[in-house]
Amino acid sequence: MEATNDIEKKYRKWIIILSIAIPLVVAVLFGVKLEGVKPLKFLPPIYATINGITAVVLIAAVVAVKNKKIKLHETLMKICIGLSVAFLGMYVAYHMTSESTKFGGEGIIKGVYLFILITHIVLSIAIIPLVLITYVKALAKRFDKHKKIAKLTFPVWLYVAITGVIVYLMISPYY
């Protein structure tokens, strides 16, 4: 048990640092526009697709663990983390080279869009520490704690992935 606590202690500061730094860096970079760089307008459908793939892989990972295919579950979760990092890099690159697209819908659809967008953004910030904590619990072999927090992490991450696709589909006619 001693080594397990050491692993969690070792990563605790990194979870805190990354959970604060990632949203702050993204927010800062969102305001930076690279001069003389051609807008990367091709990225939104790619990173929306990555969100969709993340959702599918997340579901596959849950199915794997329920079928006691632990190694497959572990591999699929690492793929999800990699996909999320790739998404984030493309998202930031797009916004550093392109002006934000305004949603052109009106009325109730605009309200629906804003609700989905705002919940997506808020939960995309919240998912960072959730994923990191869940991952570290597994790394520390604290599977009872891992399973408990994963029951919250999974639906939030799935919501973020799916709403990322929905936001893209709703705004894509206005690109």
Model pLDDT for residues 84-126, shown as the tens digit of each residue: 999 999 999 999 999 889 999 999 999 999 999 999 999 999 9
pLDDT at 30 over 90: no
CATH, domain 2-174, list 1.10.8, 3.40.50, 1.20.120, 1.10.10: 1.20.120
**CA-based nearest residue to 50, from 26, 5, 81:** 81
| In contact, 149 and 130? CB cutoff 8 Å | yes
Separation between Cα atoms, residue 114 and residue 108, nearest integer Å: 10
**pLDDT value for 19:** 97
Average pLDDT over residues 129-146: 96
| In contact, 8 and 136? CB cutoff 8 Å | yes
Average pLDDT over residues 127-137: 98
Average pLDDT over residues 29-53: 94
Give the contacts of 78 (CB within 8 A, at least 6 positions apart): none
